[in-house]
Amino acid sequence: MVERLQELMHHKQLSSTQFADTVEVPRAVISHILSGRNKPSLEVVTKVASAFPEVSLGWLLLGEGDMLNPLAAPVAPASKSKSEEVLPSQAKLEMPPAVEQQDKVQSTNSISSPAQLADQHEKTIEQIVIFYNDKSFTAYKP
């Protein structure tokens, strides 16, 4: 992903400082990502996507396809009305089934621990990370 961020910066003719300011993240965050010290967090990727909506998320995250989204949107099937169409900038991320299940369990007021939810899906918890608003975090491993 570092190479793609560098390619985007080159395409937009931005220095790392200008890029950090445009994306609205601390300059050190971009510096650490570009040097390979840190990997981009979800927050950084989200801010890049917001700052540059013309950049394809598939390309940014996975290196698939072209860097820029096509100018013309694909033609929708005749059965969809204009009000049903969703623009890429309006698309919402889908929650994984485990998160949806957790919401359903909580909405029925039954108390389940994360471990019990993991057992329901035959998965185990590998790590729990808590992110704080000062950009620090704490990782817990069971």
Q: Residue range 7-23: average pLDDT?
A: 89
What residues have CB less than 8 Å from 28, skipping those under 6 apart? none
Q: What is the mean pLDDT of the chain?
A: 73
70 C-beta neighbours (distance < 10 Å), count: 10
Distances in Å between the Cα of 103 and the Cα atoms of 98, 99, 128, 130 are: 9, 6, 18, 19
What DSSP line would sit under 10-43, residue for residue? Answer: HHHT--HHHHHHHHTS-HHHHHHHHHTSSPPPHH
pLDDT in tens, 68-127: 877 644 544 554 444 444 554 444 444 455 444 444 444 444 555 666 655 566 778 888
Q: Residue range 20-44: average pLDDT?
A: 89
Instruction: Give the domain ranges of the chain.
Output: 2-62, 97-140
Could you tell me the CATH superfamily of domain 2-62?
lambda repressor-like DNA-binding domains (1.10.260.40)
The pLDDT value given to residue 69? 79
Percent of the chain with pLDDT over 70: 64
Encode 95-114: b = buried (16+ Cβ within 10 Å), e = exposed.
eeeeeeebeeeeeeeeeeee
